[in-house]
Amino acid sequence: MAAANKGTTIFDATTPGAKGVMAPDPGVPEPQDNWRLPDAYRRSVPADLPEVAEPEVVRHYVRLSTRNHHIDKDTYPLGSCTMKYNPKINERTAAMAGFSRLHPETPDDHCQGALRLMWELGRDLAVITGMDEVRLQPSAGAQGEMVGLLIALAYHRSRGEDRRKVIIPDSSHGTNPASVTLAGFDPVAVKSNEKGLVDPSELAAVLDDNVACIMLTNPNTLGLFEQDILKITEMVHAKGGIVYNDGANTNALLGIARAGDMGFDVLHLNLHKTFSTPHGGGGPGAAAVGVTKELIPFLPGSGIEREENNGDMRFSRKSPGSQSIGSVHPFAGNFGVLVRAYTYIRLLGAEGLRQVAEDAVLNANYLMSRIKDVYDIPYGHRCMHEFVASAVRQKKQGVRAGQIAKRLLDFGVHPPTVYFPLIVPEALMIEPTETESMARVDAYAEALLQIAREIESDPDMVNTAPHNAPIRKVDEARAARDLDVG
Ligand SMILES: Cc1ncc(COP(=O)(O)O)c(C=O)c1O
C-alpha cells in the first residue's frame, strides 16, 4: 500500500512500482498523429518522474488545493478585486479543442469561429458600456489603464498639444497613479469631499488647459456612485481634457448605467473580474478598452472586422492604422479569458447581467447593515457593490484592521482588502459579490461580529491569529528585514 503523502511535493510520495490505471493500447492510431512531436525532439531516457498510485496523486493535489483559500472553497469578499464564483461552464467552453488548440498564426479563413467570438464580445461590451468601439488586447486592468492613457496622449499629440496633467481622486486604486507615471504624465490628486465623492469645486481648482485627462473609477473605491458625474465630465470636456473610466467596478452597473452615457471617452473593463475568470494568483487576466468615435484611430492593434456578402459573414483581423498606439500584447491578447467572458455574457443575457449588478449591490448593503453598529462606516449610508468599514474603534482596543483580517481566516472565510483606500484609516474594504447566498453573507457578518466581541474580551486571541490556518501568524517585521524591504 502506498504511504500517505504528508510531504510538500508529489516526489515525497514516491513508492517504487506504484502507478495509475492505464487503459490497454487499442492499437488504433491517434487522430491527431500529425501533431506528434518529431522523434528527433523526443527524449530517449525516461524522465525521472515520481511513482505514485492514482488515489495518492488525487489526494495530494486536493490536499494542496485546500491549503490556500480560493473561491471554490468559501466566501472571498476581497474588496475591489471582485472575486466572484467562476461558473464551470466557462472552463468547458475555453477548453473546447477548436479554441484551446488554435494557433494564433492560423489564417483568418481557418479560425472564423474564434474571430467571430471576439467580434461579438467586443460588440456586446460596447453595448454594455455605451462606447463606440472596444478592443480586447490588454492582459490586465492595469495594462488597460496604460492603454487608455496612451490613447489620451496620442489624441492630444495629434492635435499638436503637449498636455502634462492627469487628475486622479485621492481614493483611486493604486494602479491609477502608477499608470499615469508610467505613461509619462504628472499625476495630480483631487481631494474627496466629506461624502467620499469628487467635489466639482475641488476639481475646478486643479482643472486647466494643461489637463490631458481625468481618471475616475465609478462607482469609486469607497463603493459610492459619483453623484456629480455628468457635471464632472462636462467640466473636463470644456477644458479639452479626456475623461477616463477605470471600469474595474462595472459589476455594480451592468444593465443599469453605462459609462458612455455619463460622458466618458475611454474606459477599461477587467474581464477577469466582472465577467468571471479565475484571477489574482489563480489565472491570467484580460482587459477590454472602449472608446468613443473620435478616439477609435488610436486604439491598439488586432481589431476584428466583419464583412457581409449576400448573407455570408466573414471575419478578419485588421492591422492597426497609422495613428494606433500599436500592439500591447502578442496576437489577440489572452484569448482563453475572452472565451470565458463571452460564455458568461451569453449565458446570462441582458436580464441576467442586470440581476448580477442588483444582487451584488443588495448583498453589499445587507452585509454593511449587519455590521454597521460595531464597525464604523465613514462614508455613505448606502453603497453600491462594495463598502469600506473602518476598524478605528477596534484599534483603540488594541487590534488593527490587518489582525481582524487574519482572524477571519480561522472562520474559513477570506479577509477583505485592508488599509485601502488610503483615505480611510484602518480600512476593511468588503465586496461580497452577487454569487454569495444570504446564508454565506450572514456567516461572514457573524464572523466579523464575533471578532469584534473577542477584541473587547480577549484582544490577544485576535492579535495572535490565525490559529487554524496551515501557516500561523508570520513575523512580518522579520520577513521585511529578511527581504530587505522594511
Ligand atoms: C479599481 C481598480 N482599478 C484597477 C485595477 C487593476 O486591475 P488588474 O489587477 O487586472 O491589473 C483593479 C484591480 O482589482 C481595481 O480594483
C-alpha to C-alpha distances, 67 to 276, 300, 454, nearest whole angstrom:
23, 40, 25
Percent helix, strand and coil across the chain, each rounded to 5?
40, 15, 45
Cell numbers for 263, please give them: 460622458
DSSP state of 168: E
Q: 393 CA distance to ligand 1 centroid (A)?
A: 29
**Rounded to the nearest 5 degrees, what angle is found at the Cα of 197, between the Cα atoms of 378 and 209?**
150
Q: Which residues contact 456 (CB under 8 A, 6 or more apart)?
A: 397
Q: What is the pLDDT of residues 330-369, one digit of tens each?
A: 998 999 999 999 999 999 999 999 999 999 999 999 999 9
Q: What is the pTM of this model?
A: 0.91
Q: 179 CA distance to ligand 1 centroid (A)?
A: 11
256 within 8 A of 354, measured Cβ to Cβ: yes
> Is 169's C-beta closer than 6 angstroms to any atom of ligand 1?
no
Q: Which atom, in ligand 1's list, is nearest to the CA of 140?
A: 10
404 within 8 A of 453, measured Cβ to Cβ: no
Of all protein residues, whose CA lies closest to atom 8 belonging to ligand 1?
141
Q: 279 CA distance to ligand 1 centroid (A)?
A: 11
Cell numbers for 257, please give them: 448605467
Domains of the chain: 92-348 (3.40.640.10)
Residue type, 396: K
Of all protein residues, whose CA lies closest to atom 4 belonging to ligand 1?
141
Q: How far apart are CA 328 and CA 302, in angstroms?
A: 10
Q: What mean pLDDT is predicted for residues 262-269?
A: 98
Q: How far apart are CA 12 and CA 51, in angstroms?
A: 10
Q: 430 CA distance to ligand 1 centroid (A)?
A: 15
Q: Which atom, in ligand 1's list, is nearest to the CA of 172?
A: 1
Q: How confident is the model at residue 413 (pLDDT cuts 50, 70, 90)?
A: very high
Of all protein residues, whose CA lies closest to atom 13 belonging to ligand 1?
81
Task: Decide if pLDDT at 423 tops 90.
Answer: yes
Q: What is the pLDDT of residues 151-202, one digit of tens each?
A: 999 999 999 999 999 999 999 999 999 999 999 999 999 999 999 999 999 9
Q: 402 CA distance to ligand 1 centroid (A)?
A: 21
> Is 345's C-beta closer than 6 angstroms to any atom of ligand 1?
no
Per-residue model confidence (pLDDT) at position 334: 95
Q: What is the pLDDT of residues 215-243, one digit of tens each?
A: 999 999 999 999 999 999 999 999 999 99
Q: 139 CA distance to ligand 1 centroid (A)?
A: 12
> Is 343's C-beta closer than 6 angstroms to any atom of ligand 1?
no
pLDDT > 90 in the chain, percent:
84
Q: What mean pLDDT is predicted for residues 256-270?
A: 98
